[in-house]
Structure 1
Amino acid sequence: MVEGDRTSGAASRDRSARPAADDWGASAVTTAIVDRLQPGDHVCWAFHDDEERLRTTLRFVAGGITTGEKVLCLTEDPTPEALRAVLEARGVDVTAAVARGQVRFRDARGSSPDTGVFDPVSMLDDWRRELGRARAEGYASLRAITDMAWLARPVSVTGIRRLAWYEAQANRMFADGYATVVCLYDRRLFTAGDLRGIASAHPGTAFTPGDESWRPQLRILRTDDPLGLRLVGASDLSTREALTAVLAGAAEDLPGCGAPLTVDVTGLTFADAAAVHALVRTAQTASAGLRIVGASSLMAKLIHLAGGCDTRGMTVETTADGPSPSTAREHTV
């Protein structure tokens, strides 16, 4: 764990206690993908059929019970009661977990169960309440899985236009490294174009069948010391909306107390032009400026070309091979 990361509580959980790979009929690929998820991950899981959705939910919920996390499961079809019964029939002891308050099943339609109209602002507020509730109950982390199928229905046509915005904004909450969130999208209900936009609002996308080497394309985590963000993975079209939303909200979400915001890109293997421009815009709105740490020489040049040289208070620390912060050279761009 990187010093200053906000994931210390979640990292203390015993991940070696996970169930065996073939428990509950989960495939090797599903098992590998679910077990690689970490607090702070927000994943769009695009599935093909009901059995795949069930296997994913089984593995995700059972893993959370085993590791002692708070588990939230949002579903509509099957109903929360029916899904709970199926999990029990597959050998997952949810009855005891529900009784002690560790696991909760809820209607996926969230704040508007009567009309089925998607209200993204209310849904974001709902997430804040769930995160606060899990913390108040003393859990080190929250694990949540939600089926988004109801948003593909005609009654939600207006709301679905804001779905990608909602998913992107949710990353601002999840970047604190407390929650692991999987959003289930049925590929039979959403168009390819809709799914591309929705996937871009998530730092990670799992299109199964995949392979056992899968990892989220990008991880975005807040840090306390120094105050800012740490980026790991690749930032391109597939994660563009997710990163843009977090960076655009950084000045509001991370009040700097007079110090520049720090974005550690040491673990960033690729950043496209849109990511670079988003960093420059963040520097322009941060009252105390922006400090980029661990950039490659190429990334520093791209920042310069994107207008970083004209942005007051923006600095880039870089070495030829994208170094650790302790060996970085500082440049004001």
Structure 2
Amino acid sequence: MVAVTPVDRLAPGDHACLTYSDTEERLDILAAFVAAARSRGDRVICYTDVADVDDLRAELLGRGGADGSAPTILPMERLWGGSVGPDAETMVELVEREVRAALRDGHNGLSVTIDMCWASRPQANAEQLLVFESEIGRLFEGGRLTAVCEYDRETFDPVTLGYAARVHPRTVTATVYHEDPVLRICRQHVPPGVRVAGELDYTRAEALSDALAEAVRLDRDIHLNLNQLGFIDAGAAAVILRTAAGLPDQRRMVVVCPEPIERTLMIAGAREVPSLRMLVRHGEQ
């Protein structure tokens, strides 16, 4: 059975699978992986296929890191060894070369994230993904390589996603407090807190309250990411304000949200909560 592991608790030598449909959640998990890898002295490389290198660098920088700088970010073509298309054996050989280079440069090991969308390209035949995941497994012996392979649920079919889950000893995912067709509430890794997406009303306020209560227990300051929230009513807004007002001295809640959500929170009484700070998209209150 594949073990589900918080991304910041992956150990040296772990080979994990991330299947995602939420881009924000994927980037959050990658940022947490990068920070954890740097804290243990690894060199970090993020191989990207769909996202532009500069865009991914900016996104990871915006989510912070071990030292405030982005990891090495490379297009997947760098693992093709000059070929016009992906060759699994060449890709594994080049990853192995990067492990040796990291150790030679004084790092404890190499941590990589690999965007597996390369396997859906027309140049990749059906066997390349199977060969890659099979051959790269030998590199994890000795704990010098740690990797997260990323699978986009909109790119791969259920059979391929099932295969990916089987061949990876671990999977990484965010802790999900609530999920239904209109609302998702999950743990945010960087900065630590809670992310809410969709539409939030009083009927789901208890789920939000539970998520915030855990953040109060785990985090000094609570970061509440509402950037992907399209609607909030007064009942749900009251849960946020009560949680912030109940924080001990010297602790605060930071809410990141778009302007319509900020207006609702203001009407609900956000100005009267000294421990609440609001960062508004395209502005700050």
**Among 143, 146, 149, which residue is 2:111 paired with?**
143
Give the alignment's TM-score, normalised by structure 2.
0.55
1:162-206 CA-to-partner distances (Å, cap 9, x unmatched) read 312221221111122111110001011101111222332222234
Q: Hey, what's the Cα distance between the residues in 1 that align with 2:83 and 2:157?
A: 23
Which residue of the other structure, out of 61, 66, 74, is the alignment partner of 2:39? 66
Residues 63 and 186 from structure 1, CA distance in 2 versus in 1: closer, same or farther, beyond 3 angstroms? same
8 A Cα contact 2:28 2:63, kept in partner: no
Is 1:76 the counterpart of 2:49? The answer is yes
Q: How does 1:162-311 map to 2 (within 5 A)?
A: 162-206=128-172
Paired residues in the alignment total 175
Q: Cα 1:79–1:115, aligned 2, differ >3 Å: closer, same or farther?
A: farther
In structure 2, the partner of 1:133 is 101
Of the three residues 121, 124, 127, the one matched with 1:153 is 121
Q: List gaps (5 residues or longer) in structure 2.
A: 178-185, 187-285
Query: Amino acid of the residue matched to residue 73 of structure 2?
Result: F
SS at match of 2:77: coil
Q: Unpaired runs of 5+ in structure 1?
A: 1-29, 213-333
Which amino acid in structure 2 is aligned with residue 128 of structure 1? E
Q: CA deviation at 1:115?
A: 6.6
Q: Which amino acid aligns with 1:58?
A: A
What is the match of residue 306 of structure 1? none
Provide the rounded CA distance (Å) in 1 between the counterparts of 2:57 and 2:130. 29
Alignment-derived partner of residue 34 in structure 1: 7
Deviation sequence 1:250-288 (CA, Å, 0-9, x none): xxxxxxxxxxxxxxxxxxxxxxxxxxxxxxxxxxxxxxx
How far is 1:46 from its partner?
A: 0.8
Relative to structure 1, the CA distance from residue 47 to residue 116 in structure 2 (aligned partners, 3 Å threshold; closer, same or farther) is farther
| C-alpha separation in 1, matches of 2:80 and 2:40 | 32
Give the Å deviation of 1:93: 6.8
Q: How far has the Cα of 1:44 moved from its partner?
A: 1.4
Partners of 1:105 and 1:57 in 2: how far apart?
A: 12
Q: Deviations over 1:187-234 (max 9, x none)?
A: 11101111222332222234666689xxxxxxxxxxxxxxxxxxxxxx
> What displacement does 1:63 show?
2.1
Distance 1:57 1:206, change over 3 A: closer
Q: Find the residue that maps to 2:80 and give its secondary structure.
A: coil
Instruction: Identify if the C-alpha distance between structure 1 residues 164 and 201 changes in structure 2 by more than 3 Å, giving closer, same or farther.
Output: farther
Q: 1:114 to 1:141 in 2, by over 3 A?
A: closer
Cα deviation digits, residues 107-127 of structure 1 (max 9, x gap): 123333877622011001111
Query: Normalized per residue, which structure has more strand?
Result: 2
Question: CA–CA distance in 2 between the matches of 1:113 and 1:94?
Answer: 31
Q: Identical aligned pairs, as a percentage?
A: 32
Q: Secondary structure at the match of 1:118?
A: coil
Query: Does residue 51 in structure 1 map to residue 24 in structure 2?
Result: yes
Match of 2:90 in 1: 122
**Counterpart residue identity of residue 121, structure 2:** R
CA distance in 1, matches of 2:89, 2:24: 32
- Determine the C-alpha separation between the residues in 1 that align with 2:175 and 2:42: 27
- Kindly report which structure 2 residues correspond to 1:98-117, keeping only aligned pairs within 5 A, or say none: 103-112=71-80, 117=85
Residues 187 and 116 of structure 1, relative CA distance in 2, 3 Å threshold: farther
CA distance in 2, matches of 1:113, 1:46: 27
| 1:130 partner amino acid | E
Aligned residue in 2 for 1:20: none
Contact 1:164 1:198 (C-alpha < 8 Å) held by counterparts: no
- Judge conservation of contact 2:117–2:152 (CA < 8 Å) in 1: yes
Asked whether the 8 Å contact 1:74–1:147 carries over to 2, the reply is yes
Root mean square deviation, CA, Å? 2.7
In 2, Cα distance between equivalents of 1:84 and 1:93: 14
1:293-332 equivalence runs, <5 A: none
Corresponding letter in the other structure for 1:118: P
For the Cα contact (< 8 Å) 2:18–2:151, is it kept in 1?
yes
